[in-house]
Amino acid sequence: MSKTAPVLTPPAGLAGGRVHRLGGEITLDERVSWCPPGVRRRQPINAYLIRAASGAVLVDTGVRLHEREILAQLDGLLGPDEPLSIVLTRTEMECCLNIPAIEAHHTVDTIWYTGGITVPRSTAPAHRVAVEPGTSTALEVRDGVVLHLVSPLLRLLPTLWVYDPPSGVLLTSDAFAHGAASGGGDPREGLQKFRWFESADTRPIAADVRRIVGERRVTAIGPSYGSPFVGEAECRREAQRLAACLEGVGA
């Protein structure tokens, strides 16, 4: 990964100030496990902050490379002693490694996670959430903040997509990773880490992607990697493109 990481200003377009994108950029090339062959460009790596009256919810904590940038962004968004909950979409390193640094600077009162292959290291109470693949559950992650935790079929390890009903923002972890600053990229590029799909019947996975987006008012899709998709029409279009790509790569 790149040794320098410019600050990525959180765009207000995701939900008019309720949801902010945090993080920085890396050089996406052969050193990055999810990079398709022959690709070299800049790519954002994202965490997301949901603001509410009772406090804030941070969805993933970003990569260690961006620790300084994420702490600065949180300082600019959170009030003094404003309580913070953390929701991890996966227990992989790019989702949880900044927990100790964030706890040292902010009041983290709860952490929610799924899976458990890598248990998050934290001083705050950590609660494991189990959601059956292909289903979702509503969870009050802090007072008055109810998020829909979706367990997609598009996954490697146990994974949660996080839907915020008031804003309509759907945070999709390591899926929908083909977004580029110049517009929607090739969905095949975002499937590099899901190579097992080439030997699988991917029709149920594609149908699940269509269902998750089609059943909700999705105003923005925020992936962990790449640029978000903003606007209901664009989100529906990118869900259809990703589903069609999944159908094309399967056995």
Domains and CATH numbers, the chain: 12-249 (3.60.15.10)
**pLDDT of amino acid 60:** 97
Proportion of the chain above pLDDT 70, given as a percent = 91
Tens digits of per-residue pLDDT, 127-171?
Answer: 999 999 999 999 999 999 999 999 999 999 999 999 999 999 999
Comparing 23-32, 114-123, 140-149, 212-221, the range with the smallest average pLDDT is 114-123
- Overall pTM surpassing 0.85 (yes/no): yes
* Residue 2 reports pLDDT greater than 50: no
Mean of pLDDT values over 196-203: 90
Proportion of the chain above pLDDT 90, given as a percent = 68
**pLDDT of amino acid 83:** 94
Alpha-carbon distances, residue 22 vs 8, 72, 171 (angstroms): 7, 10, 13
**pLDDT of amino acid 130:** 94
Mean of pLDDT values over 212-226: 96
Confidence label for 12 from pLDDT (cuts 50, 70 and 90): very low
Tens digits of per-residue pLDDT, 63-76?
Answer: 999 999 999 999 99
* Residue 84 reports pLDDT greater than 70: yes
**pLDDT of amino acid 104:** 93
Tens digits of per-residue pLDDT, 88-122?
Answer: 999 988 899 999 999 999 999 999 999 876 666 78
HSE-up of 97 (CA within 13 Å, CB side)? 10
Comparing 51-55, 191-195, 214-218, 241-245, the range with the smallest average pLDDT is 191-195
Alpha-carbon distances, residue 166 vs 54, 118, 161, 182, 239 (angstroms): 15, 31, 16, 28, 21
* Residue 8 reports pLDDT greater than 60: no
3-state DSSP assignment of residue 235: helix
Selection from 33, 24, 22, 92 nearest residue 56 by Cα? 22
